[in-house]
Amino acid sequence: MSRPKAVIIGMMGAGKTRVGREIAQILSLPFADADIDIEREVGMKIPAYFDKFGEPEFRKVESRLICEKLTSFDGIFSLGGGAPMTPATQEALAAYIADGGRVVYLMADPAEAMERANRGGGRPMLNGDANARWKKLFKERDPVFRQVANVHVHTRGLTPQGAAKKVIDMVNERAVHVTGTAIDPYDVAIGEGVMNHLVDVLGDKPVRIALIHTQSVQRHSDRARALLRQGGYEVSDIVIPDAEAGKTIEVANGIWQRLGNEGFTRSDAVVGLGGGAATDLAGFVAATWMRGVRYVNCPTSLLAMVDASTGGKTGINTPQGKNLVGSFYTPAGVLADMKSLATLPNDIFIEGLGEVAKSGFIMDAEILSILESHAAELKAFDGTTFLGTPLEDVVAELIERTVTVKAYHVSSDLKEKGLREFLNYGHTLGHAIEKLEHFHWRHGNAVAVGMVYAAELSHLMGYIDADLVDYHRSLLSSLGLPTSWNNGSFDDVLALMHRDKKARGNELRFVVLDRVGHVIHLDNPPADAVREAFERITR
Which residues are part of a known binding site for substrate? 35, 59, 81, 141
- Given 213, 420, 442, 459, which residue is catalytic? 420
- Annotated binding site for NAD(+), which residues? 242-247, 276-280, 300-301, 313, 322
- Annotated binding site for ATP, which residues? 13-18, 123
- Annotated binding site for Mg(2+), which residues? 17
- Given 192, 351, 355, 421, which residue is catalytic? 355
**Residues 243-248: contacts with CB within 8 Å, 24+ apart?**
243/214, 243/275, 243/277, 243/439, 244/277, 244/317, 244/322, 244/434, 244/439, 245/277, 245/439, 246/214, 246/277, 246/278, 246/281, 247/277, 247/280, 247/281, 247/315, 247/316, 247/317, 248/316, 248/317
- Given 173, 351, 416, 456, which residue is catalytic? 416
Catalytic residue status for 443: yes
Catalytic residue status for 406: yes
Catalytic residue status for 166: no
Burial of 538 (0-12, 13-18, 19+ CB in 10 A): middle
In 3D space, the residue among 235, 302, 12 whose CA is nearest the CA of residue 131 turns out to be 12
- Given 431, 435, 459, 509, which residue is catalytic? 431
- Given 406, 435, 459, 473, which residue is catalytic? 406
Q: At what angle do helices 443-460 and 346-362 cross, to 10 degrees?
A: 30
CA 510 remoteness from chain centre: 27
- Given 443, 459, 472, 509, which residue is catalytic? 443
- Annotated binding site for Zn(2+), which residues? 355, 427, 443
Q: How would you classify the pairing of strands 321-328 and 313-318?
A: antiparallel
Catalytic residue status for 509: no
- Annotated binding site, which residues? 13-18, 35, 59, 81, 123, 141, 242-247, 276-280, 300-301, 313, 322, 355, 427, 443
Catalytic residue status for 355: yes
Rg (CA), the chain: 26
Catalytic residue status for 415: no
Catalytic residue status for 69: no
Contact 369, 521 (CB under 8 A): no
Sheet with 234-240, edge to edge strand ranges: 174-180, 183-191, 333-337, 294-299, 269-274, 208-214, 234-240
* 454-474 per-residue burial string, b: 16 or more CB within 10 A, e: under 16: bbbbbbbbebbeeebbebbbe
Give the sign of the dihedral formed by CA 485, CA 488, CA 493, CA 494: positive
Catalytic residue status for 135: no
- Given 225, 427, 435, 459, which residue is catalytic? 427
DSSP 68-122: HHTTT--SEEE--TTGGGSHHHHHHHHHHHHTT--EEEEE--HHHHHHHHHHH--
Catalytic residue status for 420: yes
DSSP 16-41: HHHHHHHHHHHHT--EEEHHHHHHHH
Catalytic residue status for 91: no
Ramachandran angles phi, psi of 210, nearest 5°: -90, 110
- Given 119, 139, 291, 438, which residue is catalytic? 291
Q: Which residues are catalytic?
A: 291, 313, 355, 406, 416, 420, 424, 427, 431, 443
